[in-house]
């Protein structure tokens, strides 16, 4: 049997038909409309289009899995608050289930992405995976002993909101010094801007002629040209990133830890120095059985694939 | 059927007969000898004495569970390195199994204590528990979805070795700013001594006339008399403790988090201000379903009870 996975985002509703082994057979996408009923319509439309494009009839689909950014209740299938979409307390599973006559399941985006990577990406063939996404924030999800881990209230794995520098940068969660204020793309951009303000001579100004042109790539690009200010920004970024990764490894000891999101596009320029720090800081650094640290493999498809397979791994 | 649990410590070998529900029927204890064979003899002796004292014949015991401080391999039953006992690569399960003709299982002490608290203590009746022990270091263990969680290499849950103040105090694990350098009794004693050196007028000097007389109680006792220096030490200690607890809650969202070890004897003097901080810092602070923070209930029996029940929860 096949599944349909839906990745509900602020811009597009992406749908995919996925085998029970996590193979993506085909995709479709429609723009995200405003309003709960319209969103449910768009989900149904995208699902039908993906099924049509793949040549799989809806009667051949076992269930549909939905993923959305924000807080959700997987038990009731209600989207409690979806980021950037003005959806509050929407019984999304019921609404989609009624439109497609299929069982529907709901999970948040970081957890679904972790499940996708576990089944069909960086964690394939392994017992456990922690997936970290470096984007606007730092998202994380975990599959432990073959099951999606979410905590008793489905709110676990907020790794971005663990403090690594007590009293440090103000986080929008209310705490100070959260990992995501340093290790997210947003944190990297802030650090780049702070360094530019202090160093008018830096090559960072050539790459980003105005402070509002800074991206998560700016410091990495300028560091490659040898700019000392950019190098310091990158080194600090990597030290903070590795600090939080070592914390996660010392706690979870997953067989694989994968890193996705925009910043992970730096590949080995990011991972090689991260591994050097982990070789010093991991509690198990002298053990033969250590967590493998890799980049994520599925990109934006992780959410679709993970959503599709919720029924199998929850 | 009943089980026997063994808590192997540097001073004593404590044994207990435990029901499958975690009820401790009776105990015995013998001094810990030197040398691997002698340790196995002492374990067998303590087990027989506990069985004798309880009136349960060894033929009525299903299995024996062992717990030791340090690194162990639960798959092979080998004690890799036991702290303070000069035991290295000792096949403890085989040696004990041969002496008592019972299946034997091995786990480290923090994990066994967490299992004990889950089955018969602070976590009784709940889905998941994280147990934190504030002693010489900060130990932690977790039971998630009814199973002891240890990571793929059995080395997980080293919460004491997660950094909360990057670049802070040197930890003996090699990192700087680990939670346990601040939140352990050792960390509290260090902070108390540092404050005494800066404040010769403090009442701390009346309670501990020499710096080497400082204990984990000194600052709490002096704070109760209103001494401002002691109050600051206690406030800082509680802030660091709560920082790490909030990190664990944001990650694991256990139904219960319990705090044991010497410092937890402070009871509500410790927990009330910790809860005030968690009310500000938890990601789920406005959710109706929040982790309950409690003191551990079983004291030193947690290890015996958890060890006994390893066969049921692994």
Instruction: Give the whole-angstrom CA distance, residue A282 versus residue B51.
Output: 42
Q: Structure tokens of B304? A: 């015996």
Instruction: Give the whole-angstrom CA distance, residue B68 versus residue B112.
Output: 9
- The mean per-residue pLDDT over the stretch B152-166 comes to 96
Res. A81 pLDDT band, cuts 50 70 90: confident
* pLDDT surpasses 80 at A252: yes
Backbone angles phi, psi at A95, to 5 degrees: -65, -40
Instruction: Give the whole-angstrom CA distance, residue A254 versus residue A141.
Output: 11
pLDDT at B70: 84
Task: Say which residues have a Cβ less than 8 Å from residue B281's Cβ, sequence separation at least 6.
Answer: A174, A175, B242, B243, B246
* Angle between helix B109-120 and helix B301-308 axes, rounded to 10 deg: 90
A290 and B CB contact within 8 Å? yes
Name which residue leads in pLDDT, B81 or A221. A221
Hey, are the CB atoms on A254 and B151 less than 8 Å from each other?
yes
* pLDDT surpasses 80 at B211: no
Name which residue leads in pLDDT, A42 or A1. A42
For chain A, list the strands marked E by DSSP: 2-8, 12-19, 24-31, 61-68, 70-73, 78-82, 87-90, 104-108, 129-134, 138-144, 147-149, 256-260, 292-295
Can you give the length of chain A in residues? 314
Q: Structure tokens of A189? A: 């951009």
User: Residues A4-59: pLDDT tens digits?
Assistant: 999 999 899 999 999 999 999 999 999 999 999 999 999 999 999 999 999 999 99
This prediction has a pTM of 0.95
Res. A122 pLDDT band, cuts 50 70 90: very high
Q: Are strands B78-82 and B87-90 parallel, antiparallel or unpaired?
A: antiparallel
Res. B212 pLDDT band, cuts 50 70 90: confident
Hey, are the CB atoms on B253 and A156 less than 8 Å from each other?
yes
pLDDT at A201: 96
User: Residues B124-134: pLDDT tens digits?
Assistant: 999 999 999 99
User: Residues A47-75: pLDDT tens digits?
Assistant: 999 999 999 999 999 999 999 988 899 99
Q: Structure tokens of B27? A: 């105990």
From chain B, the residues in CB contact with A153 under 8 A are: 253, 284, 287, 289-290
Task: Say which residues have a Cβ less than 8 Å from residue A75's Cβ, sequence separation at least 6.
Answer: A154
Cβ pair B312, B63 in contact under 8 A: no
Hey, are the CB atoms on B251 and A165 less than 8 Å from each other?
no
pLDDT at B83: 75
- Interface test with chain B among A128, A138, A147, A155, by most B beta carbons within 10 Å: A155
From chain B, the residues in CB contact with A243 under 8 A are: 163, 166
Instruction: Give the whole-angstrom CA distance, residue B130 versus residue A149.
Output: 14
* pLDDT surpasses 90 at A82: no
Which residue in this structure is represented by tokens 């995919």? Answer: A16
From chain A, the residues in CB contact with B157 under 8 A are: 251
Name which residue leads in pLDDT, A238 or B82. A238
Q: What is the DSSP letter of A102?
A: S
B151 and A CB contact within 8 Å? yes
From chain A, the residues in CB contact with B250 under 8 A are: 156, 158-159, 161-162
pLDDT at A313: 86
Average pLDDT of every residue of chain B = 95
Hey, are the CB atoms on B252 and A144 less than 8 Å from each other?
no
Which residues 167-206 of A are in CB contact (within 8 Å) with B? 173-175
pLDDT at A84: 76
pLDDT at A212: 83
Instruction: Give the whole-angstrom CA distance, residue B269 versus residue A41.
Output: 55
B1 and A CB contact within 8 Å? no
B147 and A CB contact within 8 Å? yes
Instruction: Report ipTM (2 d.p.).
Output: 0.95
From chain B, the residues in CB contact with A255 under 8 A are: 152
User: Residues B61-85: pLDDT tens digits?
Assistant: 999 999 998 889 999 999 998 877 8
Hey, are the CB atoms on B251 and A157 less than 8 Å from each other?
yes
From chain A, the residues in CB contact with B239 under 8 A are: 166
Average pLDDT of every residue of chain A = 95
Cβ pair B115, A216 in contact under 8 A: no
- The mean per-residue pLDDT over the stretch B136-163 comes to 95
User: Residues A124-162: pLDDT tens digits?
Assistant: 999 999 999 999 999 999 999 999 999 999 999 999 999
- The mean per-residue pLDDT over the stretch A160-173 comes to 97
Q: Which residues of A213-232 are buried (b: 16+ CB within 10 A; e: fewer)?
A: ebebbbbbbbbeeebebbbb
Instruction: Give the whole-angstrom CA distance, residue A268 versus residue A257.
Output: 15
Hey, are the CB atoms on B156 and A251 less than 8 Å from each other?
yes
A277 and B CB contact within 8 Å? no
Which residues 58-117 of A are in CB contact (within 8 Å) with B? none
User: Residues A102-120: pLDDT tens digits?
Assistant: 999 999 999 999 999 999 9
* pLDDT surpasses 80 at B46: yes
- The mean per-residue pLDDT over the stretch B135-146 comes to 94
Instruction: For residue A157, give Cα distances in angstroms to A115, A248, B110.
Output: 13, 10, 22
- Half-sphere exposure of residue A193: CA atoms within 13 angstroms, side-chain side: 14
User: Which of A150, A165, A253 is facing B153, going by the closest CB pair?
Assistant: A253
User: Residues A288-307: pLDDT tens digits?
Assistant: 899 999 999 999 999 999 99
Torsion, CA A154, CA A158, CA A163, CA A169, rounded to 10: -130
A27 and B CB contact within 8 Å? no
How far does B227 lie from chain A, in Å, by closest CA? 25
Res. A165 pLDDT band, cuts 50 70 90: very high
pLDDT at B259: 97
Res. B223 pLDDT band, cuts 50 70 90: very high
Hey, are the CB atoms on A251 and B251 less than 8 Å from each other?
yes
Alpha-helix runs per DSSP H in A105-199: 109-120, 179-183, 185-198
User: Which of B144, B158, B239 is facing A283, going by the closest CB pair?
Assistant: B158
Instruction: Give the whole-angstrom CA distance, residue B10 versus residue B110.
Output: 15
Backbone angles phi, psi at B130, to 5 degrees: -115, 130
Instruction: Give the whole-angstrom CA distance, residue A43 versus residue A93.
Output: 11
Res. A168 pLDDT band, cuts 50 70 90: very high
């Amino acid at each position: 049997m096949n599944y349909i996975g839906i990745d509900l985002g602020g811009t597009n509703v992406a749908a995919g038909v996925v085998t029970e082994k996590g193979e993506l057979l085909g995709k479709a996408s429609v723009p995200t409309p405003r309003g709960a009923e319209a969103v449910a319509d768009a989900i149904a439309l995208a699902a039908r289009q993906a099924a049509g494009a793949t040549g799989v009839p809806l009667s051949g689909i076992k269930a549909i899995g939905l993923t959305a950014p924000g807080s959700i209740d997987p038990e009731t299938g209600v989207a409690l608050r979806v980021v950037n979409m003005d959806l509050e307390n929407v019984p999304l599973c019921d609404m989609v289930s009624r439109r497609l006559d299929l069982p529907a399941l709901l999970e948040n985006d970081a957890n679904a992405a972790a499940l996708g990577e576990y089944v069909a990406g960086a964690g394939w063939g392994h017992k456990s995976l922690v997936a970290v996404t470096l984007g606007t924030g730092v998202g994380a999800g975990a599959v432990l002993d073959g099951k999606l881990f979410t905590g008793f209230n489905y709110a676990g794995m907020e790794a971005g909101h663990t403090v690594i520098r007590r009293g440090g940068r103000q986080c929008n969660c209310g705490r100070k010094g959260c990992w995501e204020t340093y290790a997210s793309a947003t944190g990297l951009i802030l650090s780049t801007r702070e360094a530019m303000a202090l160093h008018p001579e830096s090559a960072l100004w050539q790459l980003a002629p105005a402070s509002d042109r800074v991206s998560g790539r700016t410091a990495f690009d300028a560091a490659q040209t040898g700019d000392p200010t950019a190098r310091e920004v990158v080194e600090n970024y990597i030290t903070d990133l590795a600090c939080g990764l070592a914390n996660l490894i010392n706690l979870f000891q997953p067989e694989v830890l994968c890193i996705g999101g925009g910043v992970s596009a730096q590949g080995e320029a990011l991972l090689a120095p991260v591994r050097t720090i982990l070789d010093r800081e991991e509690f198990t650094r002298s053990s033969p059985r250590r967590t493998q640290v890799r980049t994520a493999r599925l990109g934006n498809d992780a959410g679709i694939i993970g959503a599709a397979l919720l029924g199998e791994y929850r």
